[in-house]
Structure 1
Amino acid sequence: MKSPPGDGDQGGSTPERRVLACARCGTPADGPPPATWTCSVESGTRRYFCDVCSRENLRAIEGRLDSSWW
């Protein structure tokens, strides 16, 4: 008996690779988030901000204000 396509050890389809981007300006990151980026959890969702946006909004980030405020 022959397996349908995508069944078995062959995997079937390639998982989509999601590109990480800054939640504020859209700057893309190659691979995992760089060490200079900031991660914020807002309403249970992780949001990443590039080093430039993080630097420009440091006081709001330290004050735990949601990014929609700044």
Structure 2
Amino acid sequence: MDEETQAGQPGADRVVCAQCETAANGRTAPPTWSCSLEDGVRRYLCDDCARAHIRAIESRLDPDWW
């Protein structure tokens, strides 16, 4: 992935967790964060949220069900 797509949305200054809204340092997500593409929107999950929802992520459940 290039840095332009890492930021999530055009013009975004930082990457934010889609669940808890924790902000990553800088414009790129840390390599330990989870990333998914849902309805054409890139969503990131921080370490803690990804760990808490790992079964739902691996089962490919819609995030609305978490």
User: TM-score per shorter chain, which class?
Assistant: 0.7 to 0.9
More helix as a share of residues: 2
Paired residue total: 55
CA distance in 2, matches of 1:17, 1:58: 26
Any unmatched runs of 5+ in structure 1? 1-15
1:33 aligns with 2:7: no
Partner of residue 57, structure 1: 53
Any unmatched runs of 5+ in structure 2? 1-10
The alpha-carbon distance between structure 1 residues 20 and 60, as it changes in their structure 2 partners (threshold 3 A), is same
Higher RCO structure, 1 or 2 (CA under 8 Å, sep 6+): 2
User: What stretches of structure 1 move > 3 A for 4+ residues in a row?
Assistant: none
TM-score (norm 2): 0.76
Question: Which has the higher Rg, Structure 1 or Structure 2?
Answer: 1
User: How far did residue 19 of structure 1 move?
Assistant: 1.7
Partner of residue 11, structure 1: none
Partner of residue 68, structure 1: 64
